[in-house]
Structure formats: C-alpha cells, structure tokens
Amino acid sequence: MRRRAKVAVVGAGAAGLVAARELLREGHASVSVFEKSGRVGGTWAYDPRADADPLGRHDPDSPGGAVHGSLYASLRTNLPRELMGFSGFPMAGGRVFAGDPRTFPGHREVLAFLDAFAEESGVLTHVRLRTEVLRVRPLGNEQGERWVVAWRGEDGEVAEEVFDAVVVCNGHCTVPLVPKIRGIDKWRGKQMHSHNYRVPEPFRESNVVVVGLGASGIDIAREISYVAKEVHIAARYSEDRLGKIERYQNVWLHAEIDCIQDDGRVKFAEGSAVAADTILYCTGYRYHFPFLDLDGLTVDDNRVGPLYRHVFPPKYAPNLSFVGLPSKTVIFPSFELESKWVAAVLSGRVTLPSEEVMMAAVREDYRRMEEAARPKRHTHALWPEWVEYVNWLADQVGEPHLDARLCDMYERALKCIWSLDDRYRDRWEEEEKVHNGGDSAVSSVLGINLPEHRIA
C-alpha cells in the first residue's frame, strides 16, 4: 500500500508548481500550495517596483514583506527553450505562450508558460494565493513525523494546519548577498544590488562599477553600457582577460575590488583604480527560510545543511524536503526530478537510506569540497558535476538519463554567456545548425575555452 500524504508546498514558483504536479501524480491527493503573492510564477513574475533601500537591506521578515521579484525589464532567458520545460509540457516544440517565439524568450513568455502549466496540470486549484507561511514546525516530536504550518491569509488572520509533510520551494533570488568591501565607509557614491535593477536609464552618463560576472552581471553590464560613460566589471577569475573588452566601446574587465581608497576611487586587485558614480552588485542572493526554526538545520555561508543530495535533511527526512536549491544546472528539469524523488519517497515507492548513512554522505560531500578548495558558498552550485546529479536523481525514480544533446546544449550556452557576446541568443539557431553538422561550432566561433573554475 502506498502512503497518501497530506502535503504542504511552500511557494508557487516553477519549483512549487512542478512539485505539486508530481505529488498529485504520485497519488498524494491532499496537496496545498501556499503562495504569498497574488499569482503563481515566483521569481518569473516581473515587478517594476524596487525596494526603498537600493541594497535590499530591509528586514526580509518584516510584515508585508519587501519586493520579491528580481527581474529586470529586458531580461531574456540565458538557456534555450528546450532546456526550460517539463516532461509532458515542453516550452519548445512550436507552442508560444505570450507571443514570444524566440529560442531565448523574455520573462513574460516564461511566466505565461508557468501559468499554462499550472492550469493544464490541475495544480492551480491547489494553490492558495495571498497566503503567507509564517512558521513550519514539527508536531509533538523532534523527528517531524507530522508538521504544523502557521499561515496568514489576505484578511490578516493567522491559522494553523497540520500536514504529514512539507516541501519547501520558496526560491532563492530575493534576499541580496552584498559583499563587504574594505574602506566602503569612504564611498560617497551610490550603491545598488541587481535585485533592484529594472532599466538602464538611471545610469545615463555615469561611471559604473559592476561587481560580479555571473549571467546577470554580464547582462546588466552590457545593457547599461549603452547609456553610461564607462562600465568597469570587477570579477574573480578574470586575470587572463583584464582590460578593455573589444566588443564594447566603454567596458573594462578588472580583478575583484581590493578596496575603496582614501580619495574615494575604487581600487581593483590588479592595481588599477577608477572614479565611479555607482557600485552595482550583481553578486547573487542568500538562501533564506524565515519560517523554519529547526534544530540541526542551518544556513551557513549560503550552505543549507545538512541536506542529503540537496533535498532531504537527514534528521527530518522524509517529511521535510527542499526542491530547487541547486544552481549551475538545467534548472527546470532538476526541479522536476527532485520533485519526483520527493513524491516517490513520501509514497513509500522509493526508500531513503538511514539517517546515519545520509549524514555520512553529506560529510563526504563536504570533505570532497574542502579537498578541492571549493568555497562553502558554492555547496549548491553543481557545475561541472551537474550531469551526474541530474542522472543520479533520474536513477532514483526510474527515469531516463538526460539526453546527451541537451547536456551539450547547456554546456555551450554557458560558454556563450561567458563570452560576453550579447548576440549569442539571436545567433543560436544558426550556430546550432553549424554545430550539429560538424565540430564544436560555438566554441570555435566564439574562440573561447572555459576552465572549470570559471563558473564554479
């Protein structure tokens, strides 16, 4: 007999929606998805507003919350549509959801895709909108065999409900991660986190230092370069590419910021210094679970742990789980496979190892990271081992491994992002044809070779 659990899902973004679908498919008929905002879509729901504090240093637990979304107006996906769908509900294949058929569509197309997915999968009827989860705690015992969820509805009233299991899918692109810069107290210019970036106009005729060379840092630096006087990108792992970027008239790449000098200039680790009007941090986000207060589960330097394979805390498994923590992977397929695993474990179709075995596996993962000198904050960044993780999940639930062509497509997309060539999205289909007809076309066209540490 399979177990039919009563399950609470926290968050109705992409992870929460596919988690709910897989729970329902597995036979867990009582599934409730709690969503604080007034619609589904999570981080893909564009919000033109920004936090009052440009750095987003608000109290994220304050009543009413702060601005959740971190999308900028022009954002397009940095992965092609073929890597953005769910099984049985692809984003590619000819169907257009919001009038944007491009291979790398804008955020409105992704949101419309998620709306359609929620509706057509039957998940939408299980979503409780404008319902904020305030606290999740185990009922009556420390092992979490049942869970109490306290939530506040639109009317302001607080209620509690008991569930057999809770799946946490609240995302991790809301609470900014701002690095500490030596001498920042000497800075008299503006500071801002990309969480609050929407359009380039405020940077017109400015000298801007962009901190970070991830996907958002590259996109935003490119966009503001069309209106700014100068853009200086500060990034780790940039030693072999320092100096003027040929593709742009006014963009330079530097090593990371060393300090703010006494004269207020921004000094970089390679020794150069510039006068700037704004420091714009494209430095990512903190994992944040304000509703969880559990012994033995922490967020330390952006490591959520201990977690077995990024999903189950051994002490509270299987009735507490997380879907959507890993980055540097094919995000939507990863969400789906994690969800299938959670649903199957809760039904009893798949069995987890003992708590002791799971803890030993976690300790081994941490040991290997330390041995490889990987920072703790990269615990949930899967590249370059992302394929192994996705295929391991597939093995747990009897699904086929990720198609080799899709793996290749993802790796080439990463190389395109790192190339700093903003035209790759619109040249993709042409280069895809060349690639499929011969050698590694995109790499040869862009003339790049991506070492492991560039993305990790």
**Whether residue 30 is found in the same domain as residue 136:** yes
- pLDDT tier for residue 145 given thresholds of 50, 70 and 90: confident
* Residue with more model confidence, 132 or 144: 132
Most confident region among 137-146, 262-271, 424-433, 444-453 by mean pLDDT: 262-271
**Whether residue 297 is found in the same domain as residue 196:** no
* Residue with more model confidence, 454 or 222: 222
Q: What pLDDT score does 238 carry?
A: 75
**Whether residue 211 is found in the same domain as residue 89:** no
Residue 48 lies in a domain: no
Average pLDDT over residues 162-171: 97
Residue 417 lies in a domain: no
Residue 30 lies in a domain: yes
Q: Taking 60 as the threshold, does the pLDDT of residue 260 lie above it?
A: yes
Per DSSP, the three-state class of 113 is helix
**Whether residue 20 is found in the same domain as residue 148:** yes
268 beta partners? 257
- pLDDT tier for residue 132 given thresholds of 50, 70 and 90: very high
E strand or H helix at 132: strand 132-138
**Whether residue 86 is found in the same domain as residue 111:** yes
Q: Taking 90 as the threshold, does the pLDDT of residue 456 lie above it?
A: no
Q: Give the range of the structural domain holding residue 116, as residue numbers without chain letter.
A: 6-36+76-174+285-397
Residue 323 lies in a domain: yes
Which tokens go with 435? Answer: 């690639």
Average pLDDT over residues 220-233: 97
Residue 449 lies in a domain: no
**Whether residue 275 is found in the same domain as residue 294:** no
14 CA to centre of own chain: 11
**Domains: count for the chain:** 2
H helices of 185-330, where? 215-225
Residue 14 lies in a domain: yes
**Whether residue 138 is found in the same domain as residue 100:** yes
Q: Taking 60 as the threshold, does the pLDDT of residue 329 lie above it?
A: yes
Q: Taking 90 as the threshold, does the pLDDT of residue 106 lie above it?
A: yes
**Whether residue 347 is found in the same domain as residue 219:** no
Q: What pLDDT score does 60 carry?
A: 53
Q: ∠ CA(454), CA(180), CA(187), 5° rounding?
A: 115
Cβ distance 114 to 44 under 8 Å?
Answer: yes
H helices of 141-194, where? none
**Whether residue 341 is found in the same domain as residue 386:** yes
Residue owning tokens 């190892």: 353
Residue 383 lies in a domain: yes
Q: Which residues contact 405 (CB under 8 A, 6 or more apart)?
A: none
Q: What pLDDT score does 102 carry?
A: 97
Q: What pLDDT score does 15 carry?
A: 98
Residue 268 lies in a domain: yes
Q: Which tens digit of pLDDT belongs to each residue from 442-455?
A: 333 333 333 333 33
**Whether residue 292 is found in the same domain as residue 343:** yes
**Whether residue 19 is found in the same domain as residue 131:** yes
**Whether residue 274 is found in the same domain as residue 385:** no
- pLDDT tier for residue 418 given thresholds of 50, 70 and 90: confident
* Residue with more model confidence, 228 or 240: 228
Rounded Cα gap, residues 220 and 291, in angstroms: 32
Final residue of a structural domain among 397, 427, 449: 397
CATH code of the domain covering residue 16: 3.50.50.60
- pLDDT tier for residue 437 given thresholds of 50, 70 and 90: low
- pLDDT tier for residue 420 given thresholds of 50, 70 and 90: confident
